[in-house]
Amino acid sequence: MAEFVALREEILHWSQHIHGIFVFQVGASGAVLSFALSQPGREPVALAVPIVSYLLCTRYYYALLTAVNIGMYIRTVLSPKVSGGLGWEEWNRSIQVDLRPRLYATLVLTFPGTAFVAFVVGTIGLAFGDLALSLRLGFSALWCAALVFLLLNIRLVVQMRNYRAKLP
Protein backbone atom coordinates (compact mmCIF):
# COMPACT_ATOMS: atom_id res chain seq x y z
CA MET A 1 0.00 0.00 0.00
CA ALA A 2 2.92 2.35 0.67
CA GLU A 3 4.12 1.85 -2.90
CA PHE A 4 0.66 2.79 -4.18
CA VAL A 5 0.64 5.99 -2.13
CA ALA A 6 4.13 6.91 -3.31
CA LEU A 7 3.22 6.28 -6.95
CA ARG A 8 0.00 8.30 -6.69
CA GLU A 9 2.08 11.19 -5.29
CA GLU A 10 4.45 10.83 -8.22
CA ILE A 11 1.51 10.99 -10.64
CA LEU A 12 0.40 14.18 -8.90
CA HIS A 13 3.92 15.59 -9.26
CA TRP A 14 3.99 14.85 -13.00
CA SER A 15 0.46 16.21 -13.45
CA GLN A 16 1.53 19.49 -11.88
CA HIS A 17 4.62 19.49 -14.09
CA ILE A 18 2.42 18.99 -17.19
CA HIS A 19 0.20 21.90 -16.14
CA GLY A 20 3.25 24.12 -15.56
CA ILE A 21 4.64 23.35 -19.02
CA PHE A 22 1.27 24.10 -20.58
CA VAL A 23 0.95 27.44 -18.78
CA PHE A 24 4.54 28.39 -19.61
CA GLN A 25 4.05 27.54 -23.30
CA VAL A 26 0.94 29.68 -23.59
CA GLY A 27 2.46 32.57 -21.63
CA ALA A 28 5.86 32.55 -23.33
CA SER A 29 4.41 32.22 -26.83
CA GLY A 30 1.96 35.03 -26.15
CA ALA A 31 4.70 37.28 -24.79
CA VAL A 32 7.06 36.68 -27.72
CA LEU A 33 4.29 37.15 -30.27
CA SER A 34 3.13 40.33 -28.53
CA PHE A 35 6.68 41.67 -28.61
CA ALA A 36 7.12 40.66 -32.26
CA LEU A 37 3.91 42.40 -33.27
CA SER A 38 4.39 45.48 -31.07
CA GLN A 39 6.52 47.37 -33.55
CA PRO A 40 7.32 47.03 -37.27
CA GLY A 41 10.59 45.19 -37.86
CA ARG A 42 10.31 42.93 -34.82
CA GLU A 43 8.27 40.22 -36.55
CA PRO A 44 11.22 37.89 -37.24
CA VAL A 45 11.75 37.54 -33.47
CA ALA A 46 8.64 35.31 -33.52
CA LEU A 47 10.74 32.66 -35.29
CA ALA A 48 12.13 31.67 -31.88
CA VAL A 49 8.70 30.36 -30.82
CA PRO A 50 8.73 27.13 -32.89
CA ILE A 51 12.07 26.14 -31.35
CA VAL A 52 11.00 26.79 -27.77
CA SER A 53 7.60 25.24 -28.45
CA TYR A 54 9.19 21.99 -29.61
CA LEU A 55 11.47 21.84 -26.58
CA LEU A 56 8.53 22.37 -24.23
CA CYS A 57 6.42 19.86 -26.15
CA THR A 58 9.08 17.17 -25.72
CA ARG A 59 9.14 17.82 -21.99
CA TYR A 60 5.33 17.75 -21.89
CA TYR A 61 5.34 14.40 -23.70
CA TYR A 62 7.91 12.93 -21.31
CA ALA A 63 5.90 14.03 -18.27
CA LEU A 64 2.67 12.71 -19.78
CA LEU A 65 4.24 9.34 -20.61
CA THR A 66 5.66 9.04 -17.12
CA ALA A 67 2.32 9.75 -15.43
CA VAL A 68 0.43 7.38 -17.75
CA ASN A 69 3.00 4.62 -17.30
CA ILE A 70 2.82 4.91 -13.51
CA GLY A 71 -0.96 4.55 -13.70
CA MET A 72 -0.60 1.49 -15.94
CA TYR A 73 1.90 -0.01 -13.48
CA ILE A 74 -0.51 0.53 -10.58
CA ARG A 75 -3.36 -1.04 -12.53
CA THR A 76 -1.46 -4.01 -13.98
CA VAL A 77 1.19 -4.84 -11.34
CA LEU A 78 0.14 -3.48 -7.95
CA SER A 79 -3.60 -3.98 -8.09
CA PRO A 80 -3.42 -7.76 -8.71
CA LYS A 81 -1.09 -8.13 -5.69
CA VAL A 82 -3.68 -6.67 -3.32
CA SER A 83 -6.52 -8.91 -2.21
CA GLY A 84 -9.59 -7.67 -4.05
CA GLY A 85 -7.44 -5.24 -6.09
CA LEU A 86 -6.93 -1.57 -5.44
CA GLY A 87 -10.05 -0.61 -7.29
CA TRP A 88 -9.29 3.09 -7.49
CA GLU A 89 -7.62 2.95 -10.91
CA GLU A 90 -10.44 0.88 -12.40
CA TRP A 91 -13.15 2.99 -10.81
CA ASN A 92 -11.46 6.20 -11.95
CA ARG A 93 -11.18 4.91 -15.52
CA SER A 94 -14.82 3.73 -15.52
CA ILE A 95 -16.30 7.14 -14.65
CA GLN A 96 -14.20 9.23 -17.02
CA VAL A 97 -15.42 10.42 -20.38
CA ASP A 98 -12.91 9.84 -23.16
CA LEU A 99 -11.17 13.19 -23.32
CA ARG A 100 -8.54 12.12 -25.83
CA PRO A 101 -10.05 14.07 -28.78
CA ARG A 102 -10.21 17.26 -26.66
CA LEU A 103 -6.73 16.67 -25.30
CA TYR A 104 -5.38 16.24 -28.80
CA ALA A 105 -7.07 19.42 -30.04
CA THR A 106 -5.61 21.32 -27.07
CA LEU A 107 -2.14 19.94 -27.77
CA VAL A 108 -2.36 20.88 -31.45
CA LEU A 109 -3.40 24.44 -30.63
CA THR A 110 -0.91 24.87 -27.80
CA PHE A 111 2.29 23.54 -29.31
CA PRO A 112 2.38 23.30 -33.13
CA GLY A 113 -0.52 25.77 -33.44
CA THR A 114 1.28 28.63 -31.72
CA ALA A 115 4.52 27.60 -33.44
CA PHE A 116 2.78 27.83 -36.82
CA VAL A 117 1.31 31.27 -36.10
CA ALA A 118 4.71 32.52 -34.94
CA PHE A 119 6.37 31.00 -38.00
CA VAL A 120 3.94 32.82 -40.31
CA VAL A 121 4.43 36.13 -38.46
CA GLY A 122 8.21 35.72 -38.59
CA THR A 123 8.15 34.74 -42.26
CA ILE A 124 6.09 37.79 -43.20
CA GLY A 125 8.44 40.03 -41.22
CA LEU A 126 11.47 38.45 -42.84
CA ALA A 127 10.02 38.64 -46.35
CA PHE A 128 8.64 42.16 -46.22
CA GLY A 129 10.55 43.83 -43.40
CA ASP A 130 13.17 46.49 -43.90
CA LEU A 131 16.13 44.61 -42.41
CA ALA A 132 19.85 45.13 -42.78
CA LEU A 133 21.62 42.38 -44.71
CA SER A 134 23.30 40.96 -41.59
CA LEU A 135 19.97 40.78 -39.77
CA ARG A 136 18.28 39.27 -42.80
CA LEU A 137 20.95 36.55 -42.99
CA GLY A 138 20.73 35.82 -39.28
CA PHE A 139 16.95 35.67 -39.32
CA SER A 140 17.08 33.50 -42.47
CA ALA A 141 19.13 30.93 -40.54
CA LEU A 142 16.62 31.20 -37.70
CA TRP A 143 13.81 30.74 -40.24
CA CYS A 144 15.35 27.45 -41.40
CA ALA A 145 15.68 26.22 -37.82
CA ALA A 146 12.13 27.35 -37.02
CA LEU A 147 10.78 25.41 -40.00
CA VAL A 148 12.57 22.23 -38.90
CA PHE A 149 11.35 22.59 -35.31
CA LEU A 150 7.80 23.35 -36.46
CA LEU A 151 7.75 20.09 -38.44
CA LEU A 152 9.26 18.18 -35.51
CA ASN A 153 6.60 19.67 -33.25
CA ILE A 154 3.81 18.48 -35.53
CA ARG A 155 5.37 15.02 -35.70
CA LEU A 156 5.68 14.82 -31.90
CA VAL A 157 2.04 15.74 -31.31
CA VAL A 158 0.98 13.10 -33.84
CA GLN A 159 3.12 10.58 -31.93
CA MET A 160 1.40 11.62 -28.70
CA ARG A 161 -1.99 11.07 -30.31
CA ASN A 162 -0.99 7.64 -31.57
CA TYR A 163 0.39 6.63 -28.16
CA ARG A 164 -2.71 7.83 -26.32
CA ALA A 165 -4.98 6.05 -28.82
CA LYS A 166 -3.30 2.72 -28.00
CA LEU A 167 -3.98 2.96 -24.27
CA PRO A 168 -6.46 0.46 -22.89
pLDDT digits 0-9 by tens, 56-80? 999 999 998 898 888 888 888 887 7
Helices (H), 2-132: 2-37, 49-73, 79-81, 88-95, 100-108, 114-128
The answer to whether the CB of 44 falls within 8 A of the CB of 131 is yes
Cα–Cα distance measured from residue 7 to residue 143, given in angstroms and rounded to the nearest whole number:
43
Give the residue extent of every domain in the chain. 2-166
The answer to whether the CB of 157 falls within 8 A of the CB of 107 is yes
pLDDT digits 0-9 by tens, 47-60? 999 999 999 999 99
Show pLDDT as tens, one digit a residue, over the chain (168 residues). 788 889 989 999 999 999 999 999 999 999 999 999 999 999 999 999 999 999 999 999 999 889 888 888 888 888 778 776 666 666 766 776 666 777 788 889 999 999 999 999 999 999 998 888 988 899 999 999 999 999 999 999 988 887 755 555
Closest CA to 153 of 46, 51, 59: 51
